[in-house]
Amino acid sequence: MARTQTMASIDAQIKKAQESVEKTKARYDAAITELGALYDRKKALQIQELASALEKSEKTYEDVLKFIKNGKF
C-alpha cells in the first residue's frame, strides 16, 4: 500500500529544498563574482601588454589605430 504523507512532512521537504536552492544560489553568485574579477584582471594584463608592445614598436599611435580600423598600415 502507498505511504501517505502529511502536510507537515511535505512542508519540511519544501523548506529543505528552499534552503538547498538558497545555498546553491549563494555559491553561484560568488562564482560569478570571481569569474568577473578574473576577466577584469585578464583584460588589464592585455591592455598592459598592448601598451608595452606599442612603446617598443616603431609604429605610431595613429598607425596602430589605422591598422585596427582598416586592417592595413
Residue 4 domain-assigned (yes or no): no
CB 59 within 8 A of CB 73: yes
Residue 31 domain-assigned (yes or no): yes
Residue 42 domain-assigned (yes or no): yes
Q: What is the pTM of this model?
A: 0.68
Q: What is the pLDDT of residue 14?
A: 98
Does the structure show a pLDDT above 60 at 1?
no
CB 72 within 8 A of CB 66: yes
User: Domain range spanning residue 63?
Assistant: 18-70
Residue 50 domain-assigned (yes or no): yes
pLDDT (tens digit, 9 = 90+) per residue, 17-67? 999 999 999 999 999 999 999 999 999 999 999 999 999 999 998 999 999
Q: State the total domains in the chain.
A: 1
Supply 32's cell numbers: 560569478
Residue 4 has, within 13 A of its CA and on its CB side, a CA count of 2
pLDDT (tens digit, 9 = 90+) per residue, 6-29? 999 999 999 999 999 999 999 999
